[in-house]
């Protein structure tokens, strides 16, 4: 019997400017997602949680909370980009060119735009990406830039466990 180790994400040294990651998991947004997220974040705009109100808008139905769209698409990138994150540094230039509705399925991709060593933390590097999120019709629903501090090989909370597996596995 063969034992296979699970995916542990990429480390700083594995990122190359220009690489594109088609993130593997899509997600269909439900009414509950939209209402819960909106109410949990104390957003009082009824277009997100009042179907009767939303029916009277030009969209005719509830809009998905744009902060939820950002959170979901960022989450989709973690497996490829920030599984070994120390900290996020920034999200900038967030654009929302097309509305998201309950029932839409979102997918995303990220392009590596910059990679550099950290000046103050030698065990880390800074990885910058441009991420785009699309609905099931391939409409661009969100784009943004993001930078994060990523652990280098041999560092971070997971290192001791990986070393033990290699030494004793």
Q: How many domains does the chain have?
A: 1
Determine the pLDDT at residue 42: 95
Q: What pLDDT is attached to residue 166?
A: 53
pLDDT over 60 (residue 167): no
The average pLDDT across 93-102 equals 98
| Residue 7 resides in a domain | no
Predicted TM-score (pTM) above 0.75: yes
Taking the C-alpha atoms of residue 54 and residue 141, their distance in angstroms, rounded to an integer, is 19
The residues, ordered by sequence, that sit 6+ positions from 144 with a Cβ below 8 Å of its Cβ are 70, 73, 91, 92, 93, 94, 95, 130, 131
We report the CATH number of the domain holding residue 121 as 3.10.129.10
Q: Report pLDDT digits (tens) over 114-145.
A: 999 999 999 999 999 999 999 999 999 999 99
Tell whether 64 is covered by a domain.
Answer: yes
In a domain, 56, yes or no: yes
Nearest Cα to 136, choosing from 94, 160, 168, 102?
102
Question: What is the residue range of 87's domain?
Answer: 12-168
Q: State yes or no: pLDDT of 93 exceeds 70.
A: yes
β-strand 85-95 against 105-117: which pairing, if any? unpaired
Q: Answer yes or no: are the C-beta atoms of 38 and 48 closer than 8 Å.
A: yes
Residue 110's φ and ψ, nearest 5 degrees, are -130, 145
In this model, does residue 111 exceed pLDDT 70?
Answer: yes
Sign of the dihedral defined by the CA atoms of residues 73, 77, 78, 82, in that order: negative
Strands (E), 118-157: 124-134, 140-151
Q: Could you tell me if residue 5 is inside a domain? A: no
- List, for residues 2-29, the tens digit of each pLDDT value: 876 777 889 999 999 999 999 999 999 9
The mean pLDDT value of the chain amounts to 92
Q: Is residue 23 part of a domain?
A: yes
What's the confidence (pLDDT) of residue 34? 94
């Amino acid at each position: 019997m063969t034992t296979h180790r699970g995916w542990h994400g990429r480390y700083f040294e594995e990122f190359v400017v220009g690489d594109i990651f088609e993130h593997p998991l899509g997600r269909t947004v439900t009414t509950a997602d939209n209402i819960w997220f909106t109410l949990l974040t104390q957003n009082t705009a009824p277009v997100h949680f009042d179907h009767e109100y939303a029916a009277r808008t030009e969209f005719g139905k509830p809009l998905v909370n744009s902060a939820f769209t950002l959170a979901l698409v960022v989450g989709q990138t973690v497996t490829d980009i920030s599984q070994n994150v120390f900290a996020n540094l920034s999200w900038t230039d967030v654009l929302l060119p097309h509305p998201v509705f309950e029932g839409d399925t979102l997918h995303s991709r990220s392009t590596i735009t910059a990679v550099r060593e950290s000046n103050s933390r030698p065990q880390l590097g800074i990885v910058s990406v441009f991420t785009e999120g699309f609905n099931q019709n391939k409409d661009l629903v969100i784009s943004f830039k993001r930078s994060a501090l990523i652990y280098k090989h041999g560092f971070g909370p997971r290192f001791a466990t990986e070393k033990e597996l290699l030494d004793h596995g």
